[in-house]
Structure 1
Amino acid sequence: MVFNLNGMNCFISFICLIGVFLLVQCNKSAGEEEVHYDTIQQQQKADTVQKDTVVKKEIKYHAFVVKNKNKDFKTLEKMYSQEELHAILAINRLDYKNKWRADTLVVPDVLEKDFTVYSPFPKNVSAARNIQKLAMFSYSIHAYALYEKGSLIKWGPTSMGKKATPTKMGLTFTNWKKEVAISTVNSDWKLRWNFNLYNYLGIGWHQYDLPGHHASHSCVRLLEEDAYFMYTWAEQWILNKKGTVVLAKGTPVIIFGPPVFNKKPWLQLIKSPHANDYTEAEINHEIQPFLPEILKQQNIKRQYLEHVP
């Protein structure tokens, strides 16, 4: 009998190759399960979730105790740039004018240029994915969030109605706007970048003092740069030529709670960096009761604009 050694060697190599292939498949089955997606959209959604998980930063905070107002704030101004100090004050729901009101400041261990990394609001909200624009104000943590098609684009501090004059809660829509409005409570109060929310009540969002607690007469106070951004971002209602009938409403706004008047929730960040965080499920829960009305009004506006000559 004659053996072909070259043929035998090829046969053995082939058997070894099959064995290696089967071993890899077994290891794959025993380890990470292979996932198949039915559509490109499912794959893209999964990739987005994975990306968000990877890039999310863990922020930790420490306390800066203010004992001597002048001395300690001069120290802060030496330690941090103007932009960084502005972010620190915003996290503590203060503007620069009212910085002296703080006894303790919550300070991130690492100052990031992207302010959204400190957001207590979820980056994506599925309940809002069909809403073009949505503004949300939390009475509980003294903060707002802006979403476009369910994606967070901006957040920041607020000071809302104090206990004696609370801000009306629930769903409303932006109405008219004015660069400088005069308060109906005191004619000396000039409200910059005012956007009306409740027409007959005279309640709107605008720039005004942020003292680190709810202090307004029902309106929603903002930092000037935030008020200006929202002034240009949100949409006004559409009226008929006589200005007597609302043809389409503006941007939906949800104000939710419960209100917190005598506490500073952001101080909890020192012990727990996620103490003020809302989960996506919690924000979805706030949106769901109003979703049919929001989508209805959004559709009315779309149809009107499509037929405008």
Structure 2
Amino acid sequence: MTKYTLTKTFFYTLFFALFIISCKKEEVNNTDNQITTASEAIAQSESHPDSIKTDQAKESSPPVIQENGFYNALAIPKDKKKRDSVYAAFSKKYSEKERYAILALNRLDSKSKWNSDTLIVPAKIDTTLMAYSPFPLQLDVLNEVKKFVIFSYPIQAYAVYSNGVLVKWGPTSMGKKTAQTDRGLMFANWKKKLAISTVKSEWKLPYNFNIHNTHGIGWHQYDLPGYPASHSCLRLLMKDAIWLYSYADTWILNPGGATTKAKGTPVMVFGDYPWGKRKPWRKLLDDPNANNISVEEMTKIVQPHVEKMISEQSNREKVADSIKAAKASEAILKESEPAEN
């Protein structure tokens, strides 16, 4: 081999070695950049108690449901186009009733559906919501109470019991931190299909049922934004407001309407909301039983008031029977009156 050939071979070998080293450095740099970007994204998500950990390095791709067992997470992007794309896929994948149930689990109505950066989505959809009830299905302590409605501040949800059996539950938005809903035992008073708010006359309150006449507290349909937002009232989805409007009993007033002769359905509000912390229903992603209220806990909350509830229930039945009997007697008297010539 000539000297010229050896020299040429040496330079080709050197050039190839330098090229390989350069490529390796570039690959390492790119990997480091990706790790840094992902780390920053996780740090940003952890800085907000309501965010899930997402890889922002892949933000150009539409977010997808993250498989997580009983509940999954659907990340909602801030960018409008991406958000619209997610909603289109969401609407295509789930029926109207299924979407309604998913939003209800996130304490949202359709108007406020994107008031969240993440939706919890059950792996299997039960449109009645009963499969996801955080309330016990049976409460023996309420066996003698025919109708009972209870609102939980901690999980922003209500439950309805008939003779100790859970017949319905759903989402609510209760009083915000500066205008919290009164706690304790109350009773349903009067109801009105369309009430006007005493805070702002522009606010219309469909299917309003008053439970605290002095403080003007009641349950009714209004926006569910995914957190406690009301001026002390108990906001409900329209379907729930209509259902409760028909279910609960009103008070019975004495002649003249100045005093109460009998109280309506017992209603209780209990607990405290974790202000400034992660929304309670987001914990379902880690533990599907995170929001569950045990029979023992519910019994402890309700039991001190059962005697009062049964007493008022008995009184109302007597008053209602008395009024019914009086009306029947009045009808008989009218029928027995001689007809006018």
Identify whether the pair has TM-score above 0.5, normalized to the shorter chain: yes
Partner residue in 1 for 2:293: 278
CA-to-aligned-CA distance 1:7-57 (integer Å, 9 cap, x gap): xxxxxxxxxxxxxxxxxxxxxxxxxxxxxxxxxxxxxxxxxxxxxxxxxxx
Relative contact order, CA 8 A, sep 6+: which one is greater? 1
Partner residue in 2 for 1:97: 111
- In the TM superposition, residue 281 of structure 1 has moved relative to its aligned partner by 1.1
- In the TM superposition, residue 170 of structure 1 has moved relative to its aligned partner by 0.3
Q: Quick one: which of 120, 123, 144 aligns to 2:158?
A: 144
Correspondence 1:98-247 to 2 at 5 A: 98-247=112-261
User: When the two structures are superposed, what TM-score results if normalisation uses the length of structure 2?
Assistant: 0.72
Segments of structure 1 that go 5 or more residues without pairing to the other structure are 1-58
Aligned residue for 1:307, secondary structure, equals helix
Contact 2:101–2:128 under 8 Å retained in 1: no
Q: Quick one: which of 266, 273, 296 aligns to 2:311?
A: 296
Partner residue in 1 for 2:332: none
Partner residue in 2 for 1:64: 74
Cα separation, 2, equivalents of 1:257 and 1:247 = 30
Q: Is 2:267 the partner of 1:253?
A: yes
- In the TM superposition, residue 121 of structure 1 has moved relative to its aligned partner by 0.5
Runs of 4+ in 1 over 6 A off after TM superposition: none
User: When the two structures are superposed, what TM-score results if normalisation uses the length of structure 1?
Assistant: 0.79
Cα separation, 2, equivalents of 1:214 and 1:261 = 9
Same amino acid, percent of matched pairs: 46
Cα separation, 2, equivalents of 1:237 and 1:229 = 18
Contact 2:74–2:119 under 8 Å retained in 1: yes
Cα separation, 1, equivalents of 2:248 and 2:284 = 31
Segments of structure 2 that go 5 or more residues without pairing to the other structure are 1-68, 327-341
Aligned residue for 2:227, secondary structure, equals coil
Cα separation, 2, equivalents of 1:69 and 1:169 = 38
Q: Is 2:99 the partner of 1:85?
A: yes
What one-letter code is carried by the residue in structure 2 that aligns with 1:270?
A: L
Cα separation, 2, equivalents of 1:158 and 1:107 = 18
Partner residue in 2 for 1:39: none
- In the TM superposition, residue 291 of structure 1 has moved relative to its aligned partner by 1.2
Aligned residue for 2:114, secondary structure, equals helix
What one-letter code is carried by the residue in structure 2 that aligns with 1:282?
A: E
What one-letter code is carried by the residue in structure 2 that aligns with 1:66?
A: I
CA-to-aligned-CA distance 1:97-121 (integer Å, 9 cap, x gap): 0001110000000112432111110
What do you get for the CA RMSD once the two structures are aligned? 1.1
Contact 2:158–2:169 under 8 Å retained in 1: yes
Question: Which structure: larger Rg?
Answer: 2
